[in-house]
Amino acid sequence: MRFSRNWIAAYTDLPEGTALHEAMSMLGLVVDDARPHGDDVTLDLDFPSNRPDAMNHLGIAREMALSANQPLRTPTVEFPVDPAVASAELTRVELRDPACVRFLGRVAIDVSVGPSPQWLCDRLEAIGLRPINNVVDITNFVMWEMGRPMHAYDMDKLRGDGLIVRRATSGEKLVTLDDIERELSAEDLVIADHERVVGLAGVMGGNDAGVTETTRRVLLECAFFDAVTIRRMAKRHAMHTDASHRFERGLSAEGIDAAVERACGLLHELASATISVDSLDMTGALPEPRQIALRSNQIRALLGVDVEPTEVSRILSGLGFQLEATAEGFTATVPAPRVDVDREVDLIEEIARFYGYGNLPGTLPLVRSRTGGGLQPVLLDEMQLRTTAASMGFWEAMTFVFTSQTEQAPFAGESSAYVELANPLSEAFAVMHRNLTPGLLAAAGRNRSVGQQAIRLFEIGRTFVPQTGTAVGERRRMGLLATGEIAAPHWSADSRAASFSDVKGAVETLWKRMSWPELQWAAAPVEGIQTGTGAEISCEGSVVGFAGKIDPAVAATASVESDVWVAELDIEDFAGRERPALELAPLPRYPASERDVSLLVKNGTLYAGVTVALGAATDVPLADYRLLGLYEGDDLPDGTSVWTLRLTYRSSERTLTAEDIEVAHDSVVERLVKELDAERR
Amino acid sequence: MSSDPNDSAANAGDADGIVARFEADALGIADLDALEELRASYLGRKRGAVTALFQALRELDGDAKRAAGAAANRARQQIGARLEQIETELRSAATASREQAELVDVTLPAIPDNLGGLHPITQTLQEIQNVFVSMGYGVVDGPEVETDWYNFGALNFPEEHPARDEQDTMRLAGDLLLRTHTSPVQIRYMEQHQPPLAIIVPGRVYRRDTPDATHNPMFVQCEGLLVDTDITLADLKGTLDHFAKALFGPGTKTRFRPGYFPFTEPSAEVDATCPACHGDGCRVCKGSGWVELLGCGMVHPALFENVGYDPTKVQGFAFGMGVDRIAAVRYGLRDIRAYYDNDLRFLRQFTS
Ligand SMILES: [Zn+2]
């Protein structure tokens, strides 16, 4: 919101230059911007939404004056009234809706409409308003001086006898001052004459009854409307005006009189108007003034410092509170415009603000907690997963949770339902993601577009799945992506492209690091994954994720041409689990012996067969085994390859003899040959 | 020495001859194996020539034995010393040739690392967590899809109040929404636990902001909540001043300004001296010397009422910071969209 430095300075002395910004910010008014405007400075203030009472030049000056212990110069209002001119005889106002709590009307006649004097134009122009004519300018001036929106009607344009505050009937129309025709709904609160609507209450006046050069008789309106009613109207019509901004933050029924008096004084002074002797004061049920008990010991308890009662009194009186001393402190009567104050703590905040936050001491409390310190297990696990993935060469990505069905569908399946945003930023952000892979693929695409070849990314984040009704399930997932070279060519080694084994190795390492139950990998068709490369990953009998190579057609949509290997796992049921107790094994007492075997197997044979064959070999002293080599050479019979396994034999009871080992090895090889339908080489 | 000249001469002659022959043989020795062979043929227990001299002493006695013994000893000493010398030479030659063969160019590039890394926001969050964990705070999280009540109502946002618009909300079906701040976890945690308690709450939050240099529709916040019987605004000041110094360095100063949040009263905005220029003014702080650190305040009694605490018996403070923004200040990042572009050229700069 824009304010004029000179205008504020008319009511109290202000610090020079940026010291003013500093002083304002220490009261809670942040100066977002300050631009010279002639000999004035336009201040753009970030106003807290709970202080509509102070969103005006006098309101700011009041706080600045109190803070600096300077006098406040409130404008004097003096004007003659004509006893022969009575508002009540000239017009009528009828309140037909309780959303108008109070309506004050006052008539001015013999008004000379014309341009405003320079000083008034300067004031308005400094805050970005265009001077229109002296009458309209006066209503704007008073709103920005005292914070009360006000409207002036040309009485001679009103049809019938005076104004009615009512709800519109659906379909009624109004051309507002911005020359836009608005179609009204039955929820709109309007000001109408006896034939038509002349203004949207608390938002904007209409063109029909506005003040122009020919206007001679003016009906001033200053009212108090219900905040929510005005807020809904402003939203419905997408009209954010200076008036609606104030009303929806909450004004009060009080303070209207002073604003109307001020406007009348100016009408007399600047438009040589004759002011009526009376006002039309239509008032509904007004709230009682609030009284709040303020305990001195509570000030200390909350702020951690003693504030002298005289200082408390100076501050609160300066803000318009009426104080009565009590045994414990004070009883404060809240000035009506301070809609933000309704508890003791609100008073204490005011005391702190003017005592100065900077003057409060800083102390370190003794931190006590019934729930203990440190990361909760699920967060610890997530952090451990992150650091492990990073140590394996993956870079942590963060992708947006909102995406499009188009991006998600290849992986979620065409029939999947999504959690939809009711008010998405755009179509590209219309639904919540179910999978992390599409976001990682998009990130890979962006990296490819800037020339990155070797790309390894991971992310841990929530995914969102619709449940019954409108409920939403959140699942923690982890995704990994590898494409391009895993190892760049280097003097010490050749380059190597990412493969299934890289993502599988990463997943298994992560799982092992977390001591989570063993994973099972099974070839299976997976959405978005090239046929024949996909794996379904299970744990404890349930599918927890997938891995494989992204279907090249899908990868191409993200502009990635190379093979993209991914794995994605649901870690919701694992992260935060209690770790199994470590069972420490004694170190082997007897030496181990290794034997290799080469097997000629038919292509298509699954390595899982090795696990099956050797998992059952509990009667032999087999301690370990691993796949040493995979050979597919021209010298082999068509459709075959050679697997070389290294088997480790060890007994926990004695040193194995060469014969022991020979017997065990023969038995193991025999099982392998049988299970794999292989030939020993 | 006095002995039989003939005997001693004969023995001395044998010994001298052996030494002379040894010297000649030694000239051709090129490696340690040949050296051992040579040693065996002169000093060996079975076939050593010098050993034979000693064995021959058994046939002699008197002066002749003494003279021959002396000559044999002399020969053994001379040959032994020479063998030792040759061995030393051969060993140092072998070492030199091995060193030559295994010369390492220590300036050659190392085998490339295979390290990935953590996102800069994660790294900054870890540092924030470390500060509070070391003070005894727990770290907890909560749902990202929230109800209107937890995100606004329970936090004392009035119904239909513009304060709700300031956090432009992305809504889902029904009264569900994407949480606009981590503050709902304050309510959820207090509902589940009794004071005293001290927690921080990191997590992703969502606002309906079109991405630009200073806004993203998704970002990471970290909330803090301390509730006990007698916590004061001065405690909040002390705690956050300590935090700022821990995060930005011991020379950091903080500044508390009044602020407005529906869920705290009194409320404050906290600035820290700019870590880039230490308060002199630079582009990171837009010349002011200060950077916005966080918003905070004393927990509003309405929150205590909403979770079933007795607001006359407990007091506490809460604070909330944008981790993205703090990271941007630390790293001097001008355009925070970079966080969610996941460009490896950007991520790789945050070596952890
Ligand atoms: Zn700076």
pLDDT of residue B21: 92
Q: What interface predicted TM-score (ipTM) does this complex get?
A: 0.91
Distance CA A193, CA B115 (A): 76
Return the structure tokens found at B70: 């002396």
**B271 found inside a domain:** yes
B70, B172: one domain: no
| B265 contacts chain A (CB < 8 A) | yes
B14, B137: one domain: no
Distance CA A441, CA A483 (A): 10
Q: Name the minimum distance, in Å, from the CA of A340 to any CA of chain B.
A: 10
Q: Are A134 and A270 in contact (CB under 8 A)?
A: yes
Q: Is the dihedral of CA B252, B258, B263, B264 positive or negative?
A: positive
**B113 found inside a domain:** no
Asked if pLDDT for residue A209 goes beyond 70, the answer is yes
Return the structure tokens found at A182: 């608005």
Q: Name the minimum distance, in Å, from the CA of A446 to any CA of chain B.
A: 7
**B114 found inside a domain:** no
A519 by Cβ neighbours in 10 Å (0-12 / 13-18 / 19+) ranks as buried
Q: What residues in A contact B139, CB-CB < 8 Å?
A: 374-376, 379
| B121 contacts chain A (CB < 8 A) | yes
Q: What residues in A contact B345, CB-CB < 8 Å?
A: 450, 452
C-alpha of residue B281 to centroid of ligand 1, in Å = 4
Give the orientation angle of helix B233-248 with respect to helix B120-134, to 10 degrees.
130
**B66 found inside a domain:** yes
Q: Do A348 and B241 touch (CB under 8 A)?
A: no
Give the helix/strand (H/E) hosting A80.
none
Q: Could you tell me the residue range of the domain that residue B83 belongs to?
A: 5-101
Asked if pLDDT for residue B16 goes beyond 90, the answer is no
Task: Find which of A307, A371, A420, A474 to mutate to test the B interface (most B CBs within 10 Å of its CB).
Answer: A371
**B329 found inside a domain:** yes
**Smallest Cβ distance to B122: which of A51, A386, A402?**
A386
What Cα–Cα distance (Å) separates residue B146 from each residue in A331, A462, A630, B142, B299?
40, 14, 53, 9, 20
Distance CA A313, CA A336 (A): 18
Residues sharing a CB contact under 8 Å with residue B165, sequence separation 6 or more, in sequence order:
none
**Smallest Cβ distance to A370: which of B119, B143, B196?**
B196
Residue B12: pLDDT band (50, 70, 90) is low
Residue A284: pLDDT band (50, 70, 90) is confident
B76, B152: one domain: no
What's the mean pLDDT when you consider all of chain A?
94
Residue B11: pLDDT band (50, 70, 90) is low
Distance CA A48, CA A338 (A): 13
pLDDT of residue A616: 80
**Smallest Cβ distance to A357: which of B121, B217, B268?**
B268
B46, B87: one domain: yes
Task: Find which of B135, B141, B233, B313 to mutate to test the A interface (most A CBs within 10 Å of its CB).
Answer: B233
Asked if pLDDT for residue B7 goes beyond 70, the answer is no
Asked if pLDDT for residue B3 goes beyond 60, the answer is no
Q: Name the minimum distance, in Å, from the CA of A129 to any CA of chain B.
A: 23
Q: Do B138 and A455 touch (CB under 8 A)?
A: no
Q: What residues in B contact A301, CB-CB < 8 Å?
A: 230, 232, 315
**Smallest Cβ distance to B141: which of A49, A379, A457?**
A379
Which tens digits make up the pLDDT trace of A471-516?
999 999 999 999 999 888 888 888 899 999 999 999 999 999 999 9
Domain A593-680 in the same topology as domain A377-570: no
What's the mean pLDDT when you consider all of chain B?
92
Return the structure tokens found at A558: 């993200």
Task: Find which of A294, A367, A447, A475 to mutate to test the B interface (most B CBs within 10 Å of its CB).
Answer: A367
Q: Do A303 and B301 touch (CB under 8 A)?
A: no
Q: Which CATH architecture has domain A290-358?
A: 2-Layer Sandwich (3.30)
Distance CA B122, CA B135 (A): 20
Which tens digits make up the pLDDT trace of A162-197?
999 999 999 999 999 999 999 999 999 999 999 999
Residues, CB-to-ion distance under 5 Å, ligand 1: B 274, 276-277, 282, 284-285
pLDDT of residue B9: 41
Q: Do A399 and B340 touch (CB under 8 A)?
A: yes
Q: Name the minimum distance, in Å, from the CA of B70 to any CA of chain A.
A: 55
**B108 found inside a domain:** no
Q: Name the minimum distance, in Å, from the CA of A302 to any CA of chain B.
A: 5
Which tens digits make up the pLDDT trace of B101-114?
999 999 999 988 88
Provide the 10 A C-beta neighbour count for residue A240. Answer: 14
Q: Do B343 and A450 touch (CB under 8 A)?
A: yes
CATH class of A593-680: alpha beta
For the residues A101-110, what does the mean pLDDT come to?
A: 95
A306-309, long-range: CB < 8 A, 24+ apart: A307/A351, A307/A355
Q: Are A38 and A323 in contact (CB under 8 A)?
A: no
DSSP assignment, residue B278? T
pLDDT of residue B159: 85
Residue A28: pLDDT band (50, 70, 90) is very high
- Superfamily designation of domain A81-283: Phenylalanyl-trna Synthetase, Chain B, domain 3 (3.50.40.10)
**Smallest Cβ distance to A423: which of B116, B170, B341?**
B170
Domain count for chain B, please give it. 2
**Domain ranges in chain A?**
2-68, 81-283, 290-358, 377-570, 593-680
Which tens digits make up the pLDDT trace of B206-259?
999 999 999 999 999 999 999 999 999 999 999 999 999 999 999 999 999 999
Q: Are A328 and A293 in contact (CB under 8 A)?
A: yes
Residue A237 identity: H
Distance CA B352, CA B339 (A): 16
A vs B: CB pairs below 8 A: 270
- DSSP labels for A373-413? SEE-HHHHHHHHHHHHHHHTTPEE----SEE-HHHHHHHH-
**What's the CATH code, domain A2-68?**
3.30.56.10
* Bigger pLDDT: B30 vs B198: B198
| B234 contacts chain A (CB < 8 A) | yes
pLDDT of residue B166: 73
CATH code for the domain in which residue B169 is found:
3.30.930.10
pLDDT of residue A170: 94
Nearest alpha carbon to residue A517 among A492, A538, A493: A538
B183, B303: one domain: yes
**Smallest Cβ distance to B139: which of A357, A379, A394?**
A379
Distance CA A82, CA B190 (A): 64
Q: Which CATH number fits domain A377-570: 3.90.226.10, 3.90.1150.10, 3.20.10.10, 3.30.930.10?
A: 3.30.930.10
pLDDT of residue A615: 87
Asked if pLDDT for residue B10 goes beyond 60, the answer is no
Q: What residues in B contact A469, CB-CB < 8 Å?
A: 174
Return the structure tokens found at A276: 């009526």
Q: Do A349 and B114 touch (CB under 8 A)?
A: no
B247, B285: one domain: yes
B156, B84: one domain: no
Q: Do A400 and B340 touch (CB under 8 A)?
A: yes
B36, B157: one domain: no
Which tens digits make up the pLDDT trace of A342-399?
999 999 999 999 999 999 999 999 999 988 899 999 999 999 999 999 999 999 999 9
- DSSP labels for B25-45? HHTT--SHHHHHHHHHHHH-T
- Of the residues B43, B71, B101, which one is the last residue of a structural domain? B101
Task: Find which of B237, B252, B323, B340 to mutate to test the A interface (most A CBs within 10 Å of its CB).
Answer: B237
pLDDT of residue B62: 87
For the residues A517-526, what does the mean pLDDT come to?
A: 95
For the residues B6-21, what does the mean pLDDT come to?
A: 68
Which residue of chain A is at minimal alpha-carbon distance from B126?
Answer: A383
A64 by Cβ neighbours in 10 Å (0-12 / 13-18 / 19+) ranks as buried
B161, B23: one domain: no
B76, B126: one domain: no
Q: What residues in A contact B172, CB-CB < 8 Å?
A: 419-422, 432, 470, 472
pLDDT of residue A413: 84
Asked if pLDDT for residue A672 goes beyond 60, the answer is yes
pLDDT of residue B1: 36
Question: Alpha-carbon dihedral of residues A399, A400, A404, A410, nearest 10 degrees?
Answer: 30
Q: Name the minimum distance, in Å, from the CA of A359 to any CA of chain B.
A: 10
**B268 found inside a domain:** yes
Give the orientation angle of helix A608-615 with respect to helix A658-676, to 10 degrees.
130
Q: What residues in B contact A395, CB-CB < 8 Å?
A: 116-117, 119, 342, 344, 347-348
Asked if pLDDT for residue B4 goes beyond 60, the answer is no
What Cα–Cα distance (Å) separates residue A502 from each residue in B131, B349, B352?
36, 24, 23
C-alpha of residue B274 to centroid of ligand 1, in Å = 4
Q: What residues in B contact A378, CB-CB < 8 Å?
A: 141
pLDDT of residue A662: 95
Asked if pLDDT for residue B2 goes beyond 70, the answer is no
| B231 contacts chain A (CB < 8 A) | yes
Return the structure tokens found at A323: 């104080």
Nearest alpha carbon to residue A150 among A50, A257, A59: A257
Residue B352: pLDDT band (50, 70, 90) is low
C-alpha of residue B329 to centroid of ligand 1, in Å = 9
Q: Name the minimum distance, in Å, from the CA of B146 to any CA of chain A.
A: 9
* Measured distance between the N- and C-terminal CA atoms of chain B, rounded to whole angstroms: 82
Which tens digits make up the pLDDT trace of B253-304?
999 999 999 999 999 999 999 999 998 999 888 888 999 999 999 999 999 9
Return the structure tokens found at B89: 């030479």
